[in-house]
Amino acid sequence: MPVTLIPRPQELTEGDGEGLTLTPRTRISATPGAEDSLAWLRRELGAATGFPFAPGTENDARIRLSVDPHAGLHPEGYRLIVDDAGALVVGHDPAGVFYGAQTLRQLLPADAYRQAPLGDTAWVLPALTITDAPRFRWRGAMLDIARHFQPKREILRFIDLLALHKLNVLHLHLSDDQGWRVEIRRYPELTRKGAWRTESQVGFSSPLVFDGRPHGGFLTQDDIREIVAHASARHITVVPEIDVPGHSQAAIHAYPELGEVGKIPVGTRWGIFDEVLGVTDNVLEFYKNVFDEIIELFPSTYVHVGGDECTKTQWKNSASAQKRIEEEGLADENELQSWFIRQLDAHLTARGRRLVGWDEILEGGLASGATVMSWRGEEGGIAAARAGHDVIMAPTATSYLDYKQSEDPDEPIPVGTLLRTKDVYTSETVPEKMTEKEAAHVLGAQVNVWTEHIDTPRRLDYMVFPRLTAFAEKVWSSGPRDYAEFEPRLREHLHRLDAIGVEYRPLDGPLPWHTRPGVQGWSR
Q: Return the closest-CA partner of residue 471 out of 206, 161, 232.
A: 161
Residue 355 contacts residue 303 (beta carbons within 8 Å) = yes
Residues counted in the chain: 524
Verify whether residue 402 is a known catalytic residue.
Answer: no
For 126, other C-beta atoms within 10 Å of its C-beta total: 16
Q: How far apart are CA 101 and CA 99, in angstroms?
A: 5
| Residues near 400 by beta carbon (within 8 Å), at least 6 away in sequence | 416, 419, 447, 448, 450
Q: Return the closest-CA partner of residue 472 out of 18, 241, 195, 141.
A: 141
Verify whether residue 309 is a known catalytic residue.
Answer: yes
Set 160, 309, 410, 423: catalytic member: 309
Q: How far apart are CA 61 and CA 9, in angstroms?
A: 25
Q: How far apart are CA 512 and CA 408, in angstroms?
A: 12
- CA 264 to mean position of chain CA atoms: 31
Set 176, 177, 359, 473: catalytic member: 176
Q: How far apart are CA 522 and CA 452, in angstroms?
A: 12
Tell me how far CA of residue 119 lies from CA of 43, 114, 358, 494, in angstroms. Answer: 17, 12, 50, 22
Verify whether residue 411 is a known catalytic residue.
Answer: no
Set 247, 253, 304, 347: catalytic member: 247
- CA 255 to mean position of chain CA atoms: 30
- CA 168 to mean position of chain CA atoms: 8
Residue 142 contacts residue 399 (beta carbons within 8 Å) = no
φ and ψ at residue 70, rounded to 5 degrees: -105, 20
φ and ψ at residue 168, rounded to 5 degrees: -130, 10
- Name residue 382's amino acid: I
Determine the number of helices (DSSP H) and then strands (DSSP E) in the chain: 17, 22
Residue 29, beta-bridge partner list: 64
Residue 361 contacts residue 338 (beta carbons within 8 Å) = yes
Alpha-carbon torsion 401, 407, 413, 415, what sign? positive
Q: Return the closest-CA partner of residue 22 out of 58, 46, 56.
A: 46
Pairing relationship of beta strands 237-244 and 522-523 according to DSSP bridges: unpaired
HEC string of 281-322 equals HHHHHHHHHHHHHHHHHCCCCEEEEECCCCCCHHHHCCHHHH
Residues identified as active-site: 176, 247, 309
